[in-house]
Structure 1
């Protein structure tokens, strides 16, 4: 989302009685597109996410994503500006109007630094981790889990503050699995909705009788922390080589030695990347640990990256 702005208008759209000028495409996924638009009423830029809905279930899922955004008014969770459903012949499009972040995502920042042979400093990592934990704490406190936390789903504000986005995979935090059919259904859902190299071990082979809870987010957060420390996720190369991520995540992660990182940060990472979800720290515990490691008082969120 950090593209240069160019006026190449293909017209305007109206959302909630306000007119928005199309500027350019920002990206597209399997069934969604993101455009950069400018509000003609305020001159501000926005990201317009358009989700193609082929059937009723798609419309319900898009509505649910909008509802998830509306649940939160938190500086570390992306807010929803407006939402509507548009008919396109026999199909529908869900439109989510969201704030535009010109700095792009955390992954954009990691890649930018990597291209220069650099990495985030430990102080920068801790400030980012603090904001991400605060966003997750708010999500978990309402009884939900993000389920697809990764560097490309974390935007950076003007001051470098992290903002969690893409709430389309969010669901209830605690899922009670009772029987093999429900286990397989959840496993299939995770395969479709939870990015493989950031997916928790318990989602690869769901047990017939178990509870899947918000600790899946803690594993994903560990993968995000690893990416901030080393410039790539711990299982990115496993996936790119075509090896089994499902097998790799069953073994305790080996953390590379690096003089850039304190033993306390490495221990924090190791605690998140525990295969047994019950042994991972809960987000409020992580939050207090990260606050204790802060180089400046935690109230001063002035991440500069």
Structure 2
């Protein structure tokens, strides 16, 4: 027995740097993610045989069931639709996997679902990580996703290398559930920004501006500036100390933002366009940066 495996529970899987990986759920995201692992003894399962066929052609083995995947993989990744499916598939994995297996949940679910599954898994000496991803189908295809991992330090270290086959950014966010909480905050920003984009388009349309050209400008400049992520630099949302290195920078950002939002609101009033998100943003922009508003001193 190698030094790495000495003391492991009887029947436990070997701690090898090239983990045998299983992937369950080969939809729009799961299939391209699994595809980046196809040359390393990958075992795949989906209820649709046609979903497995391209991966088998690329070198993966098609499993006969969830239990078949669990019995042959050290890391079992699942990318299914919702909490109910995660519980169903997860419990099937627990019933068949050997001690030492890591079960990774990539679906976007409730944090408590992952926490409860992890609690059940401990009875089997199996580790659960919640590891939702961000970057969409494009990132999955390119192998450039971000993955936000919740779990123990040991489980994260075992997942880091195989996750790196399909992700450019692999971050340990904390204990089980932390990955999901991170994903929900990230997606809240994502979809609120879509609503804000619709509001901006209404203002542009009422102004006679080409929406397609506006879209080109937004995509071009966000690629340069980083968009909303460019101001997510602080470790806390508490008020910013005037001695902080970021204070003057964010004061400048606040002043520009409040000025430009005020101008946009004036234009909206002139055109009779309802822009409620812009009004909320104008009122909360400074405090959101940890600063007083420009009229608050």
Q: Which TM-score band applies after superposition, normalised by the shorter structure? A: under 0.3
User: Considering only CA atoms, is the larger Rg found in Structure 1 or Structure 2?
Assistant: 2
More strand by share: 1
More helix by share: 2
Return the TM-score normalized by structure 2: 0.24
Q: Which has the higher contact order (CA 8 A, sep 6+)?
A: 1
Return the TM-score normalized by structure 1: 0.23
